[in-house]
Structure 1
């Protein structure tokens, strides 16, 4: 028995092995799982706190339900590491969130046990509703549908739309497991959080919000007692009706540094020293990230103007708003995981005479495009959006790359979009944005170190000229969007070594297109636009359209990300694969010039761009 207990996790090759274990061995297995999580996530980074908190819950789920026959859907998905370990992916876990390795979220391509690969919150209940309907139509009465959602995920409006439907169908059994740890990134806010606190006090016999909506209610359950949680889940399954199982857990459970962390319980981390939970000596923790520059700059502006307010959706610290919140707590509003509400609430603030700054991850603003369009822009309201993690984000993968915003929002009338290239320009553009009162503005910043200043040699009609070859004819104009200014300058140097005259320009405000750009493009043989958004519909496309009315029509090469879901990997490597590093930009430029009539230089180094590029 001792030898078996010492290697329990190694013996778990799938859910069947979890179900076969004697119950007295489960606490030891939970310890082993936590040890693996701490060791591997501290080494490589990832979501630590959420997974430490669901170890016993995940064990109970796999003991009661037979995945994949029974369907388990994890909301948000960042708490699915334990699920991966229990479903045959232990050997691959060392490569978690690394290029070619396991995704940090459920992934259909990895396992039949991953039904969806969601990593945006509040979606699991809608998936469950559809799956239960499909099972009913197919006559599959023996398949359970279980949705695991955190109390933070329940702050999203989509979750309540699903609850409204699930509770109204008593004949359709869906088990909603609420993982209640009182937090999303930070402590959960709003009336629901208050209601859950009341239920945690032992109000299971009373009528509550969920019973009013048509659910049976089981709980509160100690989510760190596998036997108790398992029993609650078995009772829920036997009811064969919509049931809410209220499971109370501790985020970061079993790892002292996470439990003691007062910010986010080590929610998402880079490399850490496992004994202390502090940043590893070798870890790249930028002293001046784009996020921190924004947070400080906004707080400074707020100290000068009392009409500046801030809004976020459960991302106070990740977007840098905690700096302003500490100084002006009454002027910072965290609305929970509710991006649509955040945007329209900001519209109301603007109507009331304030200038809201809405700080979200770029990927999450996708969920509120209609609100930007119809609730803010239609009313020409002065709302500033700051999109963190814009462009390639890295190891979080397809759902977190902030690569859609430029194409989605380029069509919004009256919206002006800026992309700072360095910290100094971020502060400058933010000040310009909040000084705008005739319509909405947007700034996009990457997940990266802000780096050094890239000074302009001149400013012309609002355009920053970063480089120009004074002694050579103007062959190539490179239009760099935001932080791509650095590789653009390096590419310019490479092209000049080939005898080409190169101008590098930063538009600062990238959309709508500054009308000085088409005129500048006509003075060059080729204009190359580079952006870390999708090529289709972005800045380059907009410039091409602006050039259609220019005579002669300039040749424009549009470089950007492909219209595809990019995998997880480092920001640097994914940019290189898309041809957005200096060598890729130079190769694509030489290739395009070589195709022009009368080309007189060798372009034998020009290779096809991995992501593709088109010249018009």
Structure 2
């Protein structure tokens, strides 16, 4: 406690209503204390630091002017919500962020009435806010009542089409609605794209003329670093638009830009629009990601995601790696393939570092495309590249690939285009929780005709699967791999493509066979060792492919054993379901085979360490051991032991 910051005003604020009696000067001090408390908390837990620091003043101003939870403040992505959580009755738990049974790192409806809408994917806030606004207009209600709806969107989220779909709808409806564009230095500067050309256009039409003055929004009022970005955007604007901004064309009154770290400006503008608005308003606020903490401000990612760190130095307490990460193995393997094949190119959706493609981009800048937070576009763009004779690798997290599913079906699978999907963060990912878990891609890809679906059991297998995908031109192909380090196996220098639809035997045994798909193979082998101490030696196989299945191997396992157990890091409907369908079609169950599938349970699993999450899922080594004992009818022996 002695190392924690002094926060005399924040100590008196338990919920936002406690702020109503504070003077503007006290609100400014509250913001300073809130920033210090956020830094202190995240230093103990790790998490998304930079985004929250960038909206400290905005968070204080919003809660000072609006009346949450009656007014609905919706944070887009919501990785910037830590200061909001501190001000809304959760300060006493803020040091449990992203831990098992602790606070979520994102907004979560079940956690607090001050989180009216959960989020962890981008560009959803305006749609949700419009829903609240129209529910208010139609007489809907919530436990706290329905007041204003405020969407806070930024950090690149305007590169997603969903935001514009919502704005187009909101402009058509014409009802009172507030959209705060949180535009930080990273998103206003190139190479974000053409949208930057719009972000400094000043609203000039009646009847909101006074707001322009209230905002002090002329570029000369901005701090120097912001002036350059705003001037650049204004210069670009002259070349691409004639009369009115895009936002105004969509039906919004545009106000800004204003300095998002100037409490006087924020309070003045927010109070004015709160008192006078009767239509959709877009308030353009320029902020600095990582604001007020030098290590974050100076970091390349502005402190986007950190491990635990020392507050004084900013040095993060990251564990030493014993093996390369799966992501880095993928990136290096793809680079090697691209060196030998000029048709190989790569696409990511605003995650070049997270997917490892920043390394590929350094080596092959003209063959790597970051399309922004636009997974639907990424998939169809990749399909077009494939149709044009290229060999595209579309590298997305499993949870984000979900957003492009219609395009996967319609633009890729039906046309049988050879798009290669590199699916990172497969399985349970840890502190980001259910919103980021890669639980469903096996099921939603393996049901598509002509799709090849692979899962790497270790980093050597991942290298082989990259080679397999690179060589595969007969339709779409996907390979999945988890977050984190590999298992430390030797990586082949000259990896050869796998035979499509062929698995591999790992261990010969008898009685029961375990067929693993993905990196749970390590847990299967640990369970096998424990079973060997009981005199039980299971056969173990690595499926490699969920589609097409290795029919010969699976049917032989079924014929040679009394029981067959499948294990996968995915939801029901995936690999195990396809195996069961094969066994049923072949009449294997008529011969008395005992079949069990181990899949992720039919629940959303909250944040914890990956190992803890797999404990909840019942998919660690001890659970696999117990499943074998149960299917063999010796569970009681396990209990005695």
Same fold (TM over 0.5): yes
Aligned with 1:542 (options 562, 565, 578): 578
1:129-162 C-alpha deviation (Å, 9 max, x unpaired): 1111110000789821110000511111111110
Tell whether the 8 Å contact from 2:44 to 2:308 is kept in structure 1 after alignment: yes
In 1, Cα distance between the equivalents of 2:448 and 2:466? Answer: 20
Which one is further off, 149-158 or 552-561?
A: 552-561
The alignment partner of 1:149 has SS state of strand
Structure 1: gaps (5+ residues): 595-600, 608-616
User: Which of 414, 427, 438 is equivalent to 1:391?
Assistant: 427
CA separation of 1:187 and 1:101: change in aligned 2, threshold 3 A:
farther
From 538, 543, 549, the counterpart of 1:507: 543
Q: Deviations over 1:411-437 (max 9, x none)?
A: 111111111111111111111111100
1:287 Cα deviation after fit: 5.6
Distance 1:361 1:184, change over 3 A: farther
The CA deviation at 1:329 is: 0.8
Distance 1:476 1:154 in 2: 53
The unaligned stretches of length 5 or more in structure 2 are 203-229, 493-497
**Aligned equivalents of 1:602 and 1:9: distance in 2?**
55
Report if the CA contact (8 A) 1:190-1:335 is conserved: no
Q: Answer yes or no: is the 8 Å Cα contact 2:514–2:564 preserved in 1.
A: yes
Match of 2:289 among 228, 233, 251: 251
Three-state SS of the structure 1 residue aligned to 2:105 is coil
- Corresponding residue to 2:154 among 115, 137, 150: 150
The Cα of 1:18 is off from its aligned counterpart by: 2.1
Q: 1:468 aligns with which of 488, 508, 516?
A: 508
**Deviations, residues 36-60 of structure 1 (Å, cap 9, x unaligned):** 2222212221101100100001111
CA contact (8 A) 2:49 2:304 kept: yes
Correspondence 1:359-370 to 2 at 5 A: 359-370=395-406
Distance 1:60 1:558, change over 3 A: same
* Alpha-carbon distance in 2 for matches of 1:464, 1:357: 25
Match of 2:389 in 1: 353
- 1:311, 1:334 within 8 Å by CA — same for their partners in 2? yes
Q: Check conservation: 1:478, 1:502, Cα contact below 8 A.
A: yes
Q: CA deviation at 1:446?
A: 0.8
CA shift for structure 1 position 186: 10
Instruction: Please give the residue correspondences for 1:116-127 in structure 2 after superposition, counting only pairs within 5 Å.
Output: 116-127=117-128
Q: For residues 166-224 of structure 1, give each alpha carbon's deviation from its aligned partner in whole angstroms, at most 9, with x where no partner exists.
A: 11122x11100000014369966221123226663396997211111111111101000
Check if 1:528 corresponds to 2:565: yes
Give 1:212's aligned residue. Answer: 249
Tell me what 1:558 maps to: 597
Question: For the structure 1 residues 550 and 139, does the alpha-carbon distance in structure 2 shift closer, same or farther, using more than 3 Å as the test?
Answer: closer
Return the alpha-carbon distance in structure 1 between the equivalents of residues 136 and 107 of structure 2: 21
Paired with 2:189 and 2:47, the residues of 1 have a C-alpha distance of 17
CA contact (8 A) 2:322 2:488 kept: no
Superposed, which structure 2 residues align to 1:9-408 within 5 Å? 9-138=10-139, 143-170=147-174, 172-183=175-186, 189-196=192-199, 200-201=230-231, 207-237=244-274, 238-262=276-300, 264-280=301-317, 283=319, 288-408=324-444
Q: CA deviation at 1:107?
A: 1.3
State the alpha-carbon separation in 2 of the partners of residues 33 and 295 from structure 1: 39
Mean alpha-carbon deviation: is it higher for 544-553 or for 240-249? 544-553
Question: Deviation per CA, 1:277-335, whole angstroms, max 9, x where unpaired?
Answer: 3332x645566111111111111211111101111111111110000000111111111
Residue 369 of structure 2: SS of its match in structure 1? strand
**Partners of 2:179 and 2:473 in 1: CA distance:** 45
User: How many angstroms does 1:514 deviate by?
Assistant: 1.4
Q: What SS does structure 2 have at the residue aligned with 1:253?
A: coil
- How far apart are the structure 2 equivalents of 1:273 and 1:484? 34
Q: Deviations over 1:499-547 (max 9, x none)?
A: 223111111123232112123222111111111111x201111101111
Partner Cα distance (2:7, 2:576) in 1: 58
How far does residue 482 in structure 1 lie from its aligned partner after superposition? Answer: 1.4
* Residues 215 and 584 (structure 1), Cα distance of their counterparts in 2 relative to 1, 3 Å cut: same
Which has the larger displacement, 27-36 or 576-585?
27-36
Bigger CA drift: 209-218 or 271-280? 271-280
Q: CA deviation at 1:249?
A: 0.2
SS at match of 2:283: strand
User: How many matched pairs?
Assistant: 588
Aligned to 1:598: none
